[in-house]
């Protein structure tokens, strides 16, 4: 990931369906493979909290302090806002997380991680069409962990009732991250639920 002087950007978050698609609201697990970059002071502490999967008032306050007390450049401020949003996203506070990512985009419109995480938050808010737009933008900009963007885009398609599109994106996510169980589980569920569809075998399936 690009190095930012003064702040870090946590890796993209991925949401998971609990049970079958549309059975209940998606619930965020700890995002796998979250990464951060070097920095200093409270901005670095915010990045570390996001990387470690921390949640709660204390972790959020670290980020809020960095944003209110440090003279951050636009890219650094955007990175810290993304980290704060990821912390809130993990707590299921999708509306506040989405606001953080939107503010980050205002500071840095080309920051792919802000779009992919806002896409995840919008899935939690059941704003599936808006989520698709964000996830497409993240992929267009070259998000650092594209497997998470494909996985979340599959979730949005799944909830919108497009199992074919969902299957292809879950499959792409698994191709990019062969050991990741979430897309493998969703591919299996789709094949069981939609026997009428002609679905290719996902990469990494055991014979």
Cβ pair 97, 88 in contact under 8 A: yes
Q: Is 163 helix (H, G, I), strand (E, B) or coil?
A: helix
Per-residue pLDDT at 40: 52
**The whole model's pTM is what?**
0.81
Parse the chain into domains and list their residue ranges: 41-156
Rounded CA separation 27/16 (Å): 6
Q: Is 13 helix (H, G, I), strand (E, B) or coil?
A: coil
Query: CATH for 41-156, among 2.40.30.20, 1.10.3210.10, 1.25.40.10, 3.40.980.10?
Result: 1.25.40.10
Q: Where does residue 22 fall: left (phi above 0), alpha (psi -120 to 50 degrees), or beta otherwise?
A: left
Cβ pair 87, 62 in contact under 8 A: no
Per-residue b or e along 41-57, where b marks 16 or more CB atoms closer than 10 Å to that residue's CB: ebbbbbbbbbbebbbee
Confidence of residue 199 (pLDDT cuts 50, 70, 90): low
38-76 pLDDT, tens per residue? 345 668 888 888 888 888 999 999 999 999 988 888 888
Please give the average per-residue pLDDT across 74-102, as a whole number. 92
Per-residue pLDDT at 44: 85
Q: Write the CA distances from 115 to 55, 106, 130, integer angstroms.
A: 21, 11, 11
Confidence of residue 11 (pLDDT cuts 50, 70, 90): low
Cβ pair 86, 122 in contact under 8 A: no
Confidence of residue 176 (pLDDT cuts 50, 70, 90): very high
Confidence of residue 96 (pLDDT cuts 50, 70, 90): very high
12-35 pLDDT, tens per residue? 666 644 333 333 334 334 343 333
Per-residue pLDDT at 150: 95
């Amino acid at each position: 990931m690009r190095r930012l002087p003064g702040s870090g950007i946590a890796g993209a978050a991925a949401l998971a369906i609990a049970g079958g698609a549309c059975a209940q609201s998606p619930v965020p697990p700890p995002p796998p493979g979250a990464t951060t970059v070097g920095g200093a002071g409270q901005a670095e502490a915010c990045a570390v909290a996001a990387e470690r999967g921390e949640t709660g008032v204390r972790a959020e306050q670290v980020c809020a302090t960095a944003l209110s007390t440090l003279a951050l450049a636009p890219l650094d401020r955007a990175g810290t806002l993304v980290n704060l949003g990821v912390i809130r996203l993990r707590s299921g506070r999708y509306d506040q997380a989405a606001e953080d990512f939107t503010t980050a985009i205002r500071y840095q419109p080309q920051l792919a991680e802000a779009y992919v995480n806002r896409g995840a938050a919008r899935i939690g808010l059941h704003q599936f069409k808006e989520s698709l737009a964000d996830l497409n933008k993240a992929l267009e900009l070259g998000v650092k962990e594209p497997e998470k963007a494909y996985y979340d885009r599959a979730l949005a398609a799944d909830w919108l009732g497009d199992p074919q599109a969902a299957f292809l994106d879950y499959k792409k996510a698994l191709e990019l991250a062969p050991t990741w169980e979430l897309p493998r589980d969703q591919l299996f569920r789709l094949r069981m639920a939609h026997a009428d569809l002609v679905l290719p075998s996902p990469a990494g399936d055991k014979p």
